[in-house]
Amino acid sequence: MSTKKPLNVAVVGCGFMGRTHSNAFGKVGNFFNLEHRPVMKAVCARSDASVKAFAEQWGYESVETDWRRLVARKDIDLIDIATPNDTHAEIAIAAAQAGKMVMCEKPLGRNAGESVRMVAAVETAKVPNMVWYNYRRVPAVTLAKQILDEGKLGKIFHYRAKFLQDWTISKDLPQGGTGLWRLDVNVAGSGVTGDLLAHCIDTALWLNGGIDKVTAMTETFVKERMHNLTGKVEKVGIDDASAFLARFANGSLATFEATRYARGHKALYTLEINGEHASIFWDLHDLHRLQYFDHKDEGRVRGWRSLHITDGDHPYMKHWWVPGLQIGYEHTFIHQVADFLQAIEKGVPAAPTFRDALATDYVTDAVLQSARSGQWQTVQRAS
Ligand SMILES: NC(=O)c1ccc[n+]([C@@H]2O[C@H](COP(=O)([O-])OP(=O)(O)OC[C@H]3O[C@@H](n4cnc5c(N)ncnc54)[C@H](O)[C@@H]3O)[C@@H](O)[C@H]2O)c1
């Protein structure tokens, strides 16, 4: 018999993120000692057959095919949104108004205007809220945050981030519908700016503070694609590639780049920070390592160190196996649920909150605006 407090969870969406979130809610109690025990109460998707199969596979107690029914249910404490971007605002606002805790996938809204309404809804309802910017919870990235906060890098000069993919190069790839909604601007909001750069920006704001201004360029390499829902060839409204320069409030200069046209790269997220005393570099393809260069080391042995982030004193790692054994991508989502539940227990906000995620949307909006105008754009602040 469990003495833990049950927390009834409902996940909306049975795709890629529906799976990572379900895995996280299911496993978190095995590895983290928490007051609450997530109960996988319900899952929702539009197709009855697929949602039933998903519930069976992942152990949900019930299914819904309309998220509105989920929001109306008295036996749900937390609504978790793992659906395409055009649904986030409507579901999150309704869930908050019904007094539910809300977790939402990134980007928060399709643009900052939508996100502002979502922030207002959760703050008015005073419900716990969080956005799944999961890369903050890669232990090596969390360690980078600790190292930066301790001042080990000194004054920061440069921030450099890239997120490279290659899956939309073919001009025969259609846009829209299941699986390809990311190419439909009405659903996604934007292309790689809101999809990939949003991750890079969230991590950057967390590690290096606010961005004052940006200047950007974007390109849509394939201008027209067949739309899966209309069967017609239609204009492509998303950005296929996006690059921008930024000035941070701390005086550092930054470059950011994301594309789905970097042949050979599947999901290469890298970040590098150069400070007065030291530098750090991280690479998603080698996610359990943090590269660290410290100029204070004795000159003869000075060089880039490759830290293997698997020891008990590394962030999150005491909850896993023994030193030297690695964890992976799915664990970042488990860490995020653990941190959310611990924040509820302490009665504190769980970062990144909706308001924290709005800060990223202000940057992506400024990037897209700058790409249109060709001018530097000042970034609005979220708080
Ligand atoms: N944190 C990350 O690293 C990360 C990675 C991938 C995707 N995402 C985000 O997660 C969200 C979902 O992306 P995905 O890759 O899982 O997409 P997906 O296409 O794999 O899955 C989307 C799911 O939502 C369901 N759905 C769509 N509309 C619905 C509705 N009205 N009601 C109920 N269910 C509905 C679909 O049937 C499908 O099951 C997006 O916002 C995306 O940006 C985040």
* Confidence band, pLDDT 50/70/90 cuts, at residue 132: very high
From the CB of 18, is ligand 1 less than 6 Å away? yes
Sort residue 338 into left (φ over 0), alpha (ψ -120 to 50) or beta.
Answer: alpha
| SS3 state at 288 | coil
- CB 376, CB 370: distance < 8 Å: yes
Q: Which of 105, 165, 181, 266 to mutate to test the pocket of ligand 1 (most atoms within 8 A of CB)?
A: 105
Ligand 1 lined by 17 (C-beta under 6 Å): yes
pLDDT computed for residue 30 by the predictor: 97
Q: How far is the CA of 377 from the centre of ligand 1 (A)?
A: 31
DSSP 8-state secondary structure symbol assigned to residue 43 = E
Distance 15 CA to ligand 1 centre (A): 6
CATH classification code of 136-378: 3.30.360.10
1-30 average pLDDT score: 96
Classify residue 251 as left (phi > 0), alpha (psi -120 to 50) or beta: left
Query: Is the CB–ligand 1 distance for residue 134 below 6 Å?
Result: yes
- How many Å apart are CA 106 and CA 113, to the nearest integer? 15
- pLDDT at position 296: 97
Domain residue ranges in the chain: 5-134, 136-378
Average pLDDT score over residue span 40-46: 97
Closest C-alpha among 192, 243, 242, 244 to residue 213: 244
Fold agreement between 5-134 and 136-378 = no
Query: Which residue's alpha carbon is at the smallest distance from atom 39 of ligand 1?
Result: 14
Q: To the nearest whole percent, how much of the chain has pLDDT over 90?
A: 99
Q: How far apart are CA 211 and CA 154, in angstroms?
A: 19
Spacing, Cα 322 to ligand 1 middle (Å): 34
Answer whether 0.85 is exceeded by the pTM.
yes
Atom of ligand 1 nearest to the CA of 65: 33
Q: What's the pLDDT band for 79 if we cut at 50, 70, 90?
A: very high
Quote the ligand 1 centre to 56 CA distance (angstroms).
19
Q: Would you state the pLDDT for residue 252? A: 98
**pLDDT tens track for 326-343:** 999 999 999 999 999 999
* DSSP calls for 225-237: EEBTTT-SEEE--
> Does the pLDDT value for residue 1 go beyond 80?
no
Confidence band (pLDDT; 50, 70, 90) for 2? confident
* DSSP character at residue 195: I
- pLDDT number for residue 383: 83
**Closest atom of ligand 1 relative to the 19 alpha carbon:** 16
Could you give the residue ranges of the DSSP H alpha helices within the chain? 16-31, 48-58, 67-72, 88-97, 112-125, 139-149, 185-188, 192, 198-208, 329-346, 354-373
CA separation for the pair 329, 24 (Å, rounded): 11
Whether ligand 1 lies within 6 angstroms of the CB of 82 is answered as: yes
Rounded Cα distance between 65 and 51, Å, is 8
Cis peptide before 107 (omega within 30 of 0): yes
Report which secondary-structure segment, H or E, holds 306.
strand 305-308
Whether 15 is in the pocket of ligand 1, judged by its Cβ within 6 Å, is yes
Instruction: Tell me the per-residue pLDDT of 171-205, one tens digit each, with 9 for 90 and over.
Output: 999 999 999 999 999 999 999 999 999 999 999 99
Ligand 1: centre distance to CA 180 (Å): 11
Give the Å distance between the CA of 185 and the centre of ligand 1.
Answer: 15
What does the alpha-carbon distance between residue 277 and residue 274 come to, in Å, rounded to a whole number? 8
* Architecture of the structural domain at 5-134: 3-Layer(aba) Sandwich (3.40)
